[in-house]
Amino acid sequence: MKVRWIALAFCALLAASGARAAGTGIPMLNKDAVSQGSAKVGLAKGSVSLKLTLAPLPAQIDTGTEQFEATIYKAYLVSTADPAMEIPLGNVYPTTLSKAGLKAALKGDLTQMGFDKVVVVAYSKDGLHSFDVLTGTLVAP
């Protein structure tokens, strides 16, 4: 009987930790590893929600080797193992207070596709320059 209670408690603990991991936000980090918001990703449901802090557009982007003026931000769900796996989530437009948000409902199970990052990319007006300004790494429950 004692073993059954221990097994039941262990299963409940695993379920709670998985629910906590799915419900908490993934930090979106800039190039200096400073959190600039969060992402909530539900791969099983195909849902992504972003709450970010980004410089209002047009914004000066420093890549570490060069600078350019960004005129648009775009968010993606990507796989680092397979560069061909990428889902555009949409354009991100920050307010004058540097706040931005995005919700995407992809309505499909994405768990087996290898997605492991959410990125926000800044693009120049001519499209010749781009830089991943924010990155969030998904942790498997």
- Write the pLDDT tens digit of every residue in 68-96: 999 999 999 999 998 889 999 999 999 99
pLDDT at 123 over 90: yes
Is 3 inside a domain boundary? Answer: no
> Count of domains in the chain?
1
Is 44 inside a domain boundary? Answer: yes
Which residues constitute the domain of residue 132? 25-137
Is 8 inside a domain boundary? Answer: no
CB atoms within 10 A of CB 70: 21
Is 110 inside a domain boundary? Answer: yes
Contact yes or no for 89/43 (Cβ under 8 A): no
Comparing 1-5, 70-74, 93-97, 110-114, the range with the smallest average pLDDT is 1-5
Is 10 inside a domain boundary? Answer: no
* Residue 131's CATH number: 2.60.40
pLDDT band at 107 (very low <50, low <70, confident <90, very high): confident
Integer Cα distance of 23 and 77 in angstroms: 18
Is 18 inside a domain boundary? Answer: no
